[in-house]
Structure 1
Amino acid sequence: MDVVRFVYEDAKGNVSTREVAQWADDGWQLKGICSSDSRFKTFRRDRIVEVLTDPDPLVDMQRPTHLAPQQDPSTITLSPSLEILFTGFPKARRTALEGYASEAGMRLRKTVSKELSFVCAGPNAGPTKLRKAQGQGVAVLDEADLVWLLETGEMPE
């Protein structure tokens, strides 16, 4: 099946029906091309309220165990198994961003490792650290991407 249609609730409690083509599911994120704007998007599995496609193509996929459903959709809490590294930011900005990530439940890291979930790269991020992260398949976000992730629980496009 090439298209999956589902009801999705974002971190602010907004509920919408989504349709995604050419999708893939890694167990905690559903990724694919959104039919509403033909852009690649990522959706957290634990925010999928109902799958409308019959038969349900996600039924055999295991629900994520490391991301618990949100009790309060206005406040996102990410799994403590999600690890983030900040690089290339002025000290004060880095401290503030680390605070936001920590409040959201993410673990802070100082070095690139294979357990790392994200690198948040500032304007002065070193190319060596970024290459190492990308080489290990770690998602690299900028500050705007991080804000989007923390506000909505969705990976930015």
Structure 2
Amino acid sequence: MSVLAFDYEDAKGNVSTREVSQWSDDGWLLTGICSSDNRRKTFRRDRIQVVHEGGDSLKPISMPQHLVDRAIAASKTRSDSLEILFTGFAKARRAELEAAAAESGMRVCKTVTMGLSFVCGGPTAGPTKLRNAQAKGVPVLDEADFLKLLETGEMPE
């Protein structure tokens, strides 16, 4: 698979050009090896402004049809907002994190559901809830990853 270059807008409204290789797309999240630091990163598809072709050639192209098809299918099975579950945090800290998530447009869940986008596990997260989420393919973040997601729109891996 070739290098995919695109313009990405982070949560603060900053737009930068990103390049990823070995990428995959589920219609909601785009994941690949980022050329700037050679680390696997995940990007929210709704924050991709323009897709480009080739590494140095930044000529805009249309979104490939298979990506469009996946996005349409994903929009039918997911809600308009990301869903997050917080577990393993002290009550006051959990309330702060839930408020930050809600303020950024996320829906806060109390249990692992089919529409869950990710889980944020704290220092006392129970293994059963985390295993249940991972079994359903739901990414598990720690607090630092969640805060980075709020700040940049990127979901660390």
Sort the TM-score into its range (normalised by shorter chain).
Answer: 0.7 to 0.9
Q: CA RMSD in A?
A: 2.3
> Residue 91 of structure 2 corresponds to which residue in structure 1?
91
**What is the match of residue 28 of structure 1?**
28
Q: Deviations over 1:11-33 (max 9, x none)?
A: 22222221111111111221101
Q: Compared with structure 1, are the counterparts of its residues 13 and 139 closer, same or farther at alpha carbon in structure 2 (3 Å cutoff)?
A: same
Q: Which residue of 2 aligns with 1:108?
A: 108
Return 28-37 or 118-127, whichever deviates more. Answer: 28-37
Give per-residue Cα distances to partners, 1:40-95, cap 9 Å, x unaligned. Answer: 0112222222222069483212284688xxxxxxxxxxx75422111110111011
List gaps (5 residues or longer) in structure 2. Answer: 55-59
TM-score, normalised on structure 2? 0.82
Question: Aligned residue pairs: how many?
Answer: 146
Note the residue ranges of structure 1 that are not aligned, 5 or more in a row. 68-78
Deviations 1:95-127 (A, max 9, x none): 111111111122221111222111111000011
Q: In 2, are the aligned partners of 1:46 and 1:64 still within 8 Å (CA)? A: no
Asked if the contact 1:133–1:140 (Cα under 8 Å) also holds between the matched residues in 2, the reply is yes
CA distance in structure 2 between the aligned counterparts of 1:99 and 1:135, rounded to whole angstroms = 27
Alignment identity in percent? 67
Give the TM-score of the pair, scaled to structure 1: 0.82
Higher share of residues assigned helix: 2
In the other structure, the counterpart of 1:12 is: 12
Mapped contact 2:87–2:122 kept (Cα < 8 A): yes
